[in-house]
Chain A
């Protein structure tokens, strides 16, 4: 069975600085999708970035980028120029490409604090 692990329950960063959140996963599949979701205090789950495993190029969305290491089964999220609005819980999630259900497997989450 696939698993997703986020080993950092809490992280903090100074405003305008860069922070990296870690995520590792375990799977026997060769094709899959990986996601980072943001959950602010409002509880709304917001997609931050997604990565297809067959793509070698790391995904980027404005200040958010990933470091996808397929062999190491690692998928970290880098937030550059951190802003107060980035404070939230961040979840890493996995979905197998062959899964016709589309269900996501989530990590435990990392709470990010942004200090002014």
Chain B
């Protein structure tokens, strides 16, 4: 099992450009999450999907959109990137029952110039 995978690992954008961060998990988990990590602020939830077909806003959703494509995949889109979106982005997944542990991907470092 690969666990949670994210692509790309690094990305540099210019202000106003758009891009999609991809996330996939092969653990048959129902719930998936997108976080951003900024220095001195820990990880903050952007969007989450409790199950296939549903998405909800987290703490910092402005400037982002998400798509739960199927049970495995949960993508994060920046329609018009801004320098304030420079951050490290993490995807995570969690089963509905049993262990409450979230499993994280390796992260994407995004720089917006």
Residues of A within 8 A of B (CB): 4, 6, 9, 33, 35, 37, 42-45, 47, 50, 91, 93, 95, 100-109
* 27 A-B residue pairs with CB within 8 Å: A4-B42, A9-B40, A33-B100, A35-B101, A37-B104, A44-B106, A44-B107, A45-B43, A45-B90, A47-B101, A47-B102, A50-B101, A91-B42, A95-B100, A100-B50, A101-B50, A101-B56, A102-B31, A102-B33, A102-B48, A102-B94, A103-B33, A103-B48, A104-B33, A104-B43, A106-B44, A108-B41
Q: Is the CB of A107 within 8 A of B42?
A: yes
User: Is B58 in contact with chain A by the CB < 8 A criterion?
Assistant: yes
Which size class do B's interface residues fall under? 20 to 34
Other-chain residue from B44, B58, B100 in contact with A50 (beta carbon distance below 8 A): B100
Q: Is the CB of A102 within 8 A of B42?
A: no
